Amino acid sequence: MSKNISLRYYFIRLFLLTMTFVGLAELLVNVIYIQCISPILNQIFHLDKLLETQTLSRILSLSVEGFFWNLLNGIFSALPQMISEPISKYIQTRTDESIFMRFLHMHGSLTPLETRLYTLSLISIFFLLICLWIMPFIIASIVFSILVSKKVNEVNEEALQKQKEYERQKYLLLSDMAHDLKTPITTISGYAEALLQNEVADKDKDFYLQAIQRKAMQMNDVITLMFEYVRLDSAGFTLHQTTENYSELIRGCIASLYTDFEKKHFELELLFPDADIYAYVDKLHMERAITNILVNAFKHNPDYTKVTVCLRHDAKQIVLDIYDTGVTIPSDIVATIFEPFVQGDSARTSKSGTGLGLSISKKVIEMHKGTLTLFQPENCTTYTKVFEITLPTPTI
């Protein structure tokens, strides 16, 4: 949507600049005509005397009429004399009545041939003046067409590059998914084979079975997240948005993970306004988006990390900030942190997660016409990073 708006503004600006150029060029042409061309034409063709009895438009129409009849005379003169003579006489009468006799009366010393030359010259001058007046429009149209064509080519090239990047991401997605499924499958297969071969002592069987269960659940999480990611990207998917108590929705997300935070001795701080804040959201998917960010906080930070959840709003937007005092995300990861299968760890390991959580969160939030941004301010003593979610304030 923002790209379309940007492109629309580009064409509007280009059109306004083109019209400004045409207006200035027309002003310059008029100044040149009045100051330079008109005095010369008046001296040669005595237009002031001609315009005493006729308007400029009438002179132009008479000139075109005379040119037309002379053209017909030239065509019919090629016919046999029996046919061409009466037609030529009629045409001569019309030309004499329409324009040549008018010029003869004004220039008594001019012969009919000289009058014809005068007329043709005047028509040529009129034609050149018309070309001069429309020249700014022609130039502007050519320049406008070139710039529009260039911009369209840039947009098409950008779309092609995005398509290539999409294809690359798709294959990378499948490759990374296979990677995240291969490790637990290998573990499950190895442990199951050891149990089948009775190579495990009785006291260790529970440990092996629990490991198999954990790995199976991990595979299930990967497939569930992958399904959720693909579903969000499908053409037929739509959000079911309603006005929800956003404050309570966030509290519910925190409450569902409270035990996990306690196990790692995290310190939780909530900074909410006294009055509840309402947002126009799809409750199920927004809960998933916020939960993914909170899960990311306790999975990728050490014990005793402090997490602060701050909610605020104004007339335009609702802002949710999730601060923490944990580890800093490497700079080479920050730019791609919201892409599929990107993780904050230096190495991809099956126990560090799928890397789809933040990607799903960003997709969901953007579908709500919001933003998800990561900030890591330097020389800040109160926190190391903050994930900021913004949503438009619903209109009442």
What is the C-alpha separation between 185 and 163, in angstroms, rounded? Answer: 33
Highest mean pLDDT among 67-81, 171-185, 362-376 belongs to 362-376
3-state secondary structure of 21: helix
Structure tokens at 178: 């296979």
Q: Looking at 102-116, 268-282, 376-390, which range is the least confident one?
A: 102-116
Give the tens place of pLDDT for each residue, 174-229.
Answer: 776 676 677 788 888 888 888 888 888 888 888 888 888 888 887 887 777 677 77
What is the C-alpha separation between 247 and 154, in angstroms, rounded? Answer: 44
What is the C-alpha separation between 60 and 68, in angstroms, rounded? Answer: 12
3-state secondary structure of 371: strand
Task: Show me where the domains of the chain are located.
Answer: 2-159, 176-233, 242-392
Q: What is the pLDDT of residue 346?
A: 42
Asked if the model's pLDDT at residue 110 lies above 60, the reply is no
3-state secondary structure of 214: helix
Structure tokens at 98: 């329409």
Asked if the model's pLDDT at residue 284 lies above 90, the reply is no
Question: How large is the average pLDDT for residues 13-20?
Answer: 87
Q: What is the pLDDT of residue 83?
A: 64
More confident residue, 310 or 260: 310
CATH number, domain 176-233: 1.10.287
Which amino acid is it at 164? K
Give the tens place of pLDDT for each residue, 137-167.
Answer: 888 888 888 988 888 888 888 888 878 877 7
Same fold for the pair 176-233 and 242-392 = no
**For 33-55, where are the alpha helices, taking DSSP H only?**
38-45, 47-53
Structure tokens at 347: 């190495």
Question: How large is the average pLDDT for residues 358-384?
Answer: 90
Q: Classify domain 242-392 at the CATH topology level.
A: Heat Shock Protein 90 (3.30.565)
What is the three-state SS of the chain? Answer: CHHHHHHHHHHHHHHHHHHHHHHHHHHHHHHHHHHHHHHHHHHHHCHHHHHHHCCHHHHHHHHHHHHHHHHHHHHHCCCCHHHHHHHHHHHHHHHHHHHHHHHHHHCCCCCHHHHHHHHHHHHHHHHHHHHHHHHHHHHHHHHHHHHHHHHHHHHHHHHHHHHHHHHHHHHHHHHHHHHHHHHHHHHHHHHHHHHHCCCCCHHHHHHHHHHHHHHHHHHHHHHHHHHHHHHHHCCCCCCCCEEEEHHHHHHHHHHHCHHHHHHCCCEEEEECCCCCCEEEECHHHHHHHHHHHHHHHHHCCCCCCEEEEEEEECCCEEEEEEEECCCCCCHHHHCCCCCCCCCCCCCCCHHHCCCCHHHHHHHHHHHCCCEEEEECCCCCCCCCEEEEEEEECCCC
What is the C-alpha separation between 71 and 305, in angstroms, rounded? Answer: 96
Where does the pLDDT of residue 352 fall: very low under 50, low under 70, confident under 90, or very high at 90 and above?
very low
pTM of the model: 0.53
% of the chain residues with pLDDT over 70: 71
Half-sphere exposure of 186 (CA within 13 A, CB side): 7
End-to-end CA distance of the chain: 24
Structure tokens at 374: 């990561």
Contacts of 311 (CB under 8 A, 6+ apart): 246, 247, 250, 271, 272, 273, 277, 318, 319, 320, 321
Q: How far is CA 291 from the centre of its chain?
A: 31
Asked if the model's pLDDT at residue 312 lies above 90, the reply is yes
CB 65 within 8 A of CB 99: yes
Q: Looking at 247-251, 266-270, 354-358, which range is the least confident one?
A: 354-358
70-100 per-residue burial string, b: 16 or more CB within 10 A, e: under 16:
beebeebeeeeeeebeeebeebeebbbebbb
Where does the pLDDT of residue 326 fall: very low under 50, low under 70, confident under 90, or very high at 90 and above?
very high
Question: How large is the average pLDDT for residues 350-370?
Answer: 77
Query: Considering the chain, what is the average pLDDT of its residues?
Result: 79
What is the C-alpha separation between 86 and 244, in angstroms, rounded? Answer: 93
